[in-house]
Structure 1
Amino acid sequence: MPHWPWLQPAAATARRATPFVLRRNKCFSPASVCASPSIHDRAQEEEEERKSLVVVGGGAAGVYASIRAKTLAPHLNVLVIDKGKFLSKVKISGGGRCNVTNGHHLEPSGLARNYPRGHKELRGSFFSTHGPQDTMHWFSDHGVELKTEDDGRVFPVTDNSASVVDCLLNEARRLGVSLQAGKSVSSASVSDSGKFVLKVEKRTVDFVDYVNANYVLVATGSSQQGYSIATQHGHSIIAPVPSLFTFKIADKRLSDLSGVTFTRVKAKLMLDGIQKSAPELTQTGPMLVTHWGLSGPVVLRLSAWGARELYQEKYQAKLMVDFIPDIHIEDVKRILFQHKDQHAKNKVNNSFPTEFGMVKRFWRFLLEQESLDGDMHWATIPKNHLNAIALQLKQWMFEVVGKGQFKDEFVTAGGVPLSEISLNTMESKKQPNLFFAGEVLNVDGVTGGFNFQNAWTGGYIAGTSIGTLASSSNLRPQACLQLEAS
């Protein structure tokens, strides 16, 4: 581990870190000559003049940015601080497999449409700088073989998130990035010298450090820690609310269908707070019935697009589901009537139209809703009941009464407004040398690898900006001692 002159330990009492002291005098007078300081003094002075970066947050964006910055500026001191374990969300994502990115949305403007917050701002040069293909190439080049599944989600071929976590941490350590877990940054003020002074605390013991840094990157996700640092430097915060969650449904009968998956439905979310229908609030895709309600990609996408409105409406809404979106309702009726004629002597429980692609449990459920006995014959079913079944298949209305949790993967809508950040550098418009990346910003994506891609791209851009600044600032005049001419 490198020596950190800018890391000032304090055992039990807090104290302010001593600013860097530059002992050398830059001289350009013809009457001056350069003298070599002692080896010890020169080494100490060079270490003190090395630029330093503190990354607050050891998630995907923070670690990726630290690697990029250190790669571009090997002389840069890089310290990553996380209050928990590094890359904890990466570890649990995708059911422990880690959905690295999405391989079906490679064009920047199309990719940006998958971000309920950020789709307008990110359609410019953001993903052109470092998109899904760049992410996949980076991991492949660093020994993580990837695969793209039918729905576009990209996973390591090992189906184990440890492949991604180990790759990132091993690369950071190889480059000399210092990783410190179990600590939090409670403040980040700017000293008279223009450097940041970060107050670092450890909750388990009576411990306070003060750390000096030339650059600070906030990559804390939805943690209050990051919002606090942002507001200390004049940023506003859009109040965070949950995104990506399942729907609790007020229909106990659904418990009979728990575990049934529909491969393709069209679902429309209807909210009292929205006067006109928003196209994003109608989604098509797989849906899963659970013992508490509805889940699956189509529901999670709706929860993301309607996150703020659902929060305002206290998660009270209506959800209209079309179980067979590719068949018009008149064709549904025609198929049912034809099936009745062709299977008049068969029991309705044992024979139902295969064109609908439904499972037997769901068919029986539909019959029960119409108070039809499954042992009755098709010939005895009244026409109005068949019309009602067709309507149920095309326009089933559910009452959403609350939200569930999407496993342990918690995504929020809200954070630092993108208008307060320069997206081409990820630098704050309020405070020079302060950068942001990842979910601390008001950006969130739908399910499918998009939230991680935002982290990789933002981290890459921030790391590039910081590494470039540190490299250019390292080109300084030769230090010398000024001597009087004899």
Structure 2
Amino acid sequence: MPQWPWLHPASAAARRATPSVFRRRRCSSVCASAHSNHAREQEDEKSLVVVGGGAAGVYASIRAKTLAPHLNVVVIEKGKFLSKVRISGGGRCNVTNGHHLEPSGLARNYPRGHKELRGSFFNTHGPRDTMRWFSDHGVELKTEDDGRVFPVTDNSASVVDCLLNEARRLGVSLQAGKSVSSASVNNDGKFVLKVEKRTVDFVDYLNANYVLVATGSSQQGYSFAAQHGHTVIPPVPSLFTFKIADKRLADLSGVTFTKVKAKLMLDSIQKKAPELTQTGPLLVTHWGLSGPVVLRLSAWGARELYQDKYQAKLMIDFIPDIHIEDVKRIIFQHKDKHAKNKVNNSFPTEFGLVKRFWRFLLEQESLDGDMHWATVPKNHLNAIALRLKQWMFEVVGKGQFKDEFVTAGGVPLSEISLSTMESKQQPNLFFAGEVLNVDGVTGGFNFQNAWTGGYIAGTSIGTLASSSNLERHACLQLEAS
């Protein structure tokens, strides 16, 4: 495991020299009467700093502020808010998945996390809850045939604007272009975060009662976690395309297969792994193979592919719904029926193959497309049938899946209480989203993890802050009496 750089706590002198935001004191069990009620209210206001302005962070800030309106909430984002939301789904934003609504079935779509998430996690806030929330806030959604859920506008701006406008309406402070460079816990148990601005020489210190780390795959979040006693599973890429050794595939660039069965074979996995066999659409690109079936395989085999330096074998069944013997029968019947036709111009339509792929298939068997079906040897026809059912490709590398970078790795779920998203190592420290060792296959599952984790964390923080506020009011009433 790489040694993540430790963050150094800000010195007391630096804190005294710099104006501090959210510097508060908790009301003791015996209420002091030296200050006015108003001053004590100001000092005792609770504060939350969310590190990371992605889906999980913004959703959590909204939830916490909704439950605890008095809570001071600041979201710190080093780049642009909701940047992944903007580009996801080709700019349409794949909000969630509408075909996997039950927690147990939904959890099976997470290569890292499928065991842990089978419990109450998605029961607390699942896809139905996500869709209802966006609908209630003015974003009409639609579910496509493959289960992916998008705004009816087919524009991610609908989702982004909804979230940011709701956060601003509630009074959440959204601060972009800043990053948390160090953090510590003072003697009062409060967090002291050093905040820097990227473009100018700017340093500020925020004191917070609660911190939520929702930094995605940024090292900033891993460093924060390590400083506060967490281990970090080294992140590796997930959700990527396969580079294939056969350069002739470039001739098929753009060809789509609506349904293939693909099996990934890795040297580091000798035992049978059901998840490494997937069925779904396949796309041929100028560098290799892509599409949902490949992306799912890349997610389930992410760590092993990294270990094997992205060298693997990929066996594809191009017509999984037709048995091999039936494939042979169809080909031989076609030969008899079209004996006088050229093999290039006549091929079995039962397979649903495009002409470009059929010609490519003939080339692999060194068959001249101008020859007639009657002259094709039986062994070549058997070889074509076998290739259609068991075509082996050599994976020699990976490609990046557009800009939607997903990683496998992060803070282990065993170090987090999934019922609250609170750290088991540091009280009042919470995590949500991809900073944790959770990642889903393509289809809206990574965003659902962000919505659920953010909702749970925001609920926990908002509830804690509200309880604390009630205690403070009780304390003030006792003093007044």
Q: Which range, TM-score by smaller chain?
A: over 0.9
Cα distance in 2 for partners of 1:317, 1:209 equals: 49
Residue 109 in 1 paired to residue 104 in 2? yes
Give the distance between the partners of 2:27 and 2:363, measured in 1 at CA: 87
What amino acid is aligned across from residue 375 of structure 1 in structure 2?
D
Q: Which segments of 5 or more consecutive residues in structure 1 lack a partner in the other structure? A: 1-9
Of 329, 333, 336, the match for 1:334: 329
Equivalent residue for 1:279, pick from 266, 274, 287: 274
Work out whether 1:248 is the aligned partner of 2:243.
yes
Structure 1 partner of 2:10: none
Q: Would the alpha carbon gap of residues 339 and 27 (structure 1) be closer, same or farther in structure 2, given more than 3 Å must change?
A: closer
SS of 1:404's equivalent in the other structure is: strand
CA pair 363-481 structure 1, distance change in 2 beyond 3 A: closer
Partner-residue secondary structure (3-state), 2:240: coil
Amino acid of the structure 2 residue aligned with 1:234? G
Distance in 1, matches of 2:200 and 2:447, equals: 33
CA–CA distance in 1 between the matches of 2:86 and 2:429? 28
The whole-number CA distance in structure 1 between the counterparts of 2:401 and 2:395 is 16
After superposition, residues 453-464 of structure 1 pair within 5 angstroms as 453-464=448-459
User: Aligned to 1:71, what secondary structure does the other structure show?
Assistant: helix
Residues 324 and 389 in structure 2, CA contact (< 8 A), matched pair in contact too: yes
2:42 matched to 1:50? no
Q: Residues 59-103 of structure 1, C-alpha deviation per residue, up to 9 Å, x if partnerless?
A: 000000000000000010000000000000000000000000000
Q: CA deviation at 1:348?
A: 1.0
Q: Work out whether residues 26 and 43 of structure 2, in 8 Å CA contact, stay in contact via their aligned partners in 1.
A: no
Between 468-477 and 99-108, the greater mean CA deviation after superposition: 468-477
Change (3 A) 1:251 1:351: same
What TM-score comes out, normalization by structure 1 length?
Answer: 0.92
Amino acid at match of 1:314: K
Unaligned runs of 5+ residues in structure 2 are: 1-12
Q: Distance in 1 between matches of 2:167 and 2:24?
A: 29
Aligned-pair distance for 1:11? 11
SS in 2 for 1:246: strand
Task: Tell me whether 1:418 sits opposite 2:413 in the alignment.
Answer: yes
Residues 1:219 and 2:238 aligned together: no
Secondary structure of residue in 2 paired with 1:228: helix
Q: Is the 8 A contact 1:68 1:460 kept in 2?
A: yes
Q: What is the letter of the counterpart of residue 390 of structure 2?
A: Q
Q: Deviations over 1:208-254 (max 9, x none)?
A: 11100000000000000001110111000000000000000000110
- 8 Å contact from structure 2 (residues 15, 205) kept in 1: no
Alignment of 1:131-280 (within 5 A): 131-280=126-275
Please show how residues 375-414 of structure 1 align to structure 2 within 5 Å: 375-414=370-409
Aligned residue in 1 for 2:466 = 471
What is the one-letter code of the residue matched to 1:407? K
- For residues 95 and 18 of structure 1, do their structure 2 counterparts lie closer, same or farther at Cα, with a shift above 3 Å needed? closer
| 1:3 matched residue in structure 2 | none
1:316 equivalent to 2:346? Answer no
Q: Deviations over 1:412-466 (max 9, x none)?
A: 0000000000000000000000000000000000000000000000000000000
Inter-partner Cα distance in structure 2 for 1:461 and 1:62: 11
Give the equivalent residue in structure 1 for 2:440: 445
Deviation at 1:373, TM superposition (A): 1.4
**Which has the higher mean CA deviation after the structures are superposed, 51-60 or 373-382?**
373-382
Q: Any idea what SS the aligned residue of 2:381 has?
A: helix
Change (3 A) 1:182 1:380: same
- On the 8 A contact 1:26/1:479 being kept in 2, the answer is no
What letter matches 1:66 in structure 2?
S
1:9-48 map, 5 Å? 15=18, 17=20, 20=23, 22=25, 42-48=37-43
Aligned partner letter, 1:200 = V
- CA 471–310 in structure 1, closer or farther in 2 if over 3 Å, else same: same
Measured in 1, the distance between the counterparts of 2:390 and 2:478 equals 84
Does the residue aligned with 2:400 lie in a helix, a strand or coil? coil
Q: Which amino acid aligns with 1:102?
A: N
In 1, Cα distance between equivalents of 2:479 and 2:431 = 42
Residue 358 (structure 1) shift: 0.3
What's the CA shift string for 1:112-148, capped at 9, x where partnerless? 0000000000000000000000000000000000000
Q: Which amino acid in the other structure matches residue 41 of structure 2?
A: E
Q: Equivalent residue of 1:240, what SS?
A: strand
- In the alignment of these two chains, the number of paired residues is 466
State the one-letter code of the partner of 2:432.
A
Measured after TM superposition, the shift of residue 349 of structure 1 is 1.2
Q: Is the 8 A contact 1:66 1:463 kept in 2?
A: yes
Instruction: Report the counterpart of residue 7 of structure 1 in structure 2.
Output: none
Work out which of the residue numbers 354, 360, 365 in structure 2 matches 1:370.
365
Q: Rg larger in 1 or in 2?
A: 1
* SS of equivalent residue, structure 1 residue 300: helix
Kept after mapping to 1: 8 A contact 2:26/2:44: no
SS in 2 for 1:479: helix
CA shift, 1:479, in A, is 3.4
CA shift, 1:48, in A, is: 2.0
TM-score (norm: length of structure 2): 0.93
State the match for 1:294 in structure 2.
289
Q: Is the 8 A contact 2:21 2:206 kept in 1?
A: no
Q: CA RMSD in A?
A: 2.2
Q: 1:23 to 1:460 in 2, by over 3 A?
A: closer
Cα distance in 2, alignment partners of residues 306 and 13 from structure 1? 50
Distance 2:23 2:71 in 1: 15
